[in-house]
Amino acid sequence: MSEEVFRSPKKHGRIMVLLSGRGSNFMAIADAAAAGKIDAEIALVFSNKEDAPGLAAARDRGLPTLALSPKLFADKTEYDKAVVREAEARNIDLICLAGYMKVLTPDFCNAYKNRILNIHPALLPSFPGLHVQQQALDWGVRYSGCTVHFVSAEVDMGAIVLQAAVPVLHDDTADALAERILIEEHKIYPEAVKLFFDGRLEIRGRRVFIL
């Protein structure tokens, strides 16, 4: 069976950011776009939480925002259908999950296959899920870090684009480690988005090649 190959488009792209919290990764991407380092614009900042600080930060920057409460929908499937409709209505090329605390339905993942990125604060496939800095401390790993990956229907399992390693210190706390990892997140997430719209990401099976 021949392997499926996807090549990211070289174009001026339209990004939709999905967030639920403070939005520091969103801001790193928005800063890079505003500075012309990424050939893309933030076409929508979306949240499942009306009061997410990241949404307020987006409004302060004059970016379009939208919040939809999951409570207004019958179930996850209907909710994600609505989110996909919002993306389609705006001709979104790439969806960036940035601290979005909802698992996407398989239908959502398939609708935007190879066009959803996420950032995770660990070196995947180690420590998927939540409380990952604490997991890293509990396991006594010497290095943790962060991963930008494409999103597939399996949580935290999509093809890896970029990673950055961060040493774990002997007296680390989960918060201290998270803070040091976040510094690297803000570097590799914009870089991954840049590579995407420079047409330099090629997905072959579960591997991403940087062209």
Query: Among 58, 65, 109, 121, which residue sits at the site for ligand GRF (rule: CB under 6 A)?
Result: 121
> Using the rule CB under 6 A, is 158 a contact of ligand GRF?
no
Catalytic residue among 120, 131, 170, 186: 120
Length of the chain: 211
Q: Of the listed pieces 5-13, 36-44, 114-122, 152-160, which binds ligand GRF according to CB under 6 A?
A: 114-122
> Using the rule CB under 6 A, is 147 a contact of ligand GRF?
no
Instruction: Using the minimum distance from each CB to ligand GRF, give the nearer residue, 165 or 211.
Output: 165
Alpha helices, H only, the chain: 24-34, 53-60, 76-89, 106-111, 132-139, 174-197
Site for ligand GRF in 28-47 (CB under 6 A): none
Alpha carbons 71 and 79: distance in angstroms, whole number: 9
Residue 26: CB minimum distance to ligand GRF, A: 6
Q: Reply yes or no on whether 149 is catalytic.
A: no
CB atoms within 10 A of CB 144: 25
Instruction: Using the minimum distance from each CB to ligand GRF, give the nearer residue, 141 or 182.
Output: 182
> Using the rule CB under 6 A, is 120 a contact of ligand GRF?
yes
**Burial per residue of 60-92, b for 16 or more beta-carbon CB atoms within 10 angstroms, e otherwise:** eeebebeebeeeeeeeeeebbeebbeebeebeb
Least Cα distance to 20 among 59, 69, 64, 62 occurs for 69
> Using the rule CB under 6 A, is 119 a contact of ligand GRF?
yes
Instruction: Using the minimum distance from each CB to ligand GRF, give the nearer residue, 174 or 199.
Output: 174
Structure tokens at 142: 């010497």
Query: Among 16, 32, 63, 99, which residue sits at the site for ligand GRF (rule: CB under 6 A)?
Result: 99
> Using the rule CB under 6 A, is 23 a contact of ligand GRF?
yes
Residue 55: CB minimum distance to ligand GRF, A: 11
CB 29 within 8 A of CB 42: yes
Query: Among 93, 184, 185, 191, which residue sits at the site for ligand GRF (rule: CB under 6 A)?
Result: 185
Peptide bond into 128 cis (omega under 30): no
In sequence order, the 6+-apart residues with CB closer than 8 A to the CB of 142 are 167, 168
Query: Among 25, 65, 105, 144, which residue sits at the site for ligand GRF (rule: CB under 6 A)?
Result: 25
Catalytic residues: 120
Binding site for ligand GRF (CB under 6 A): 19, 21-25, 54, 98-99, 119-121, 146, 182, 185
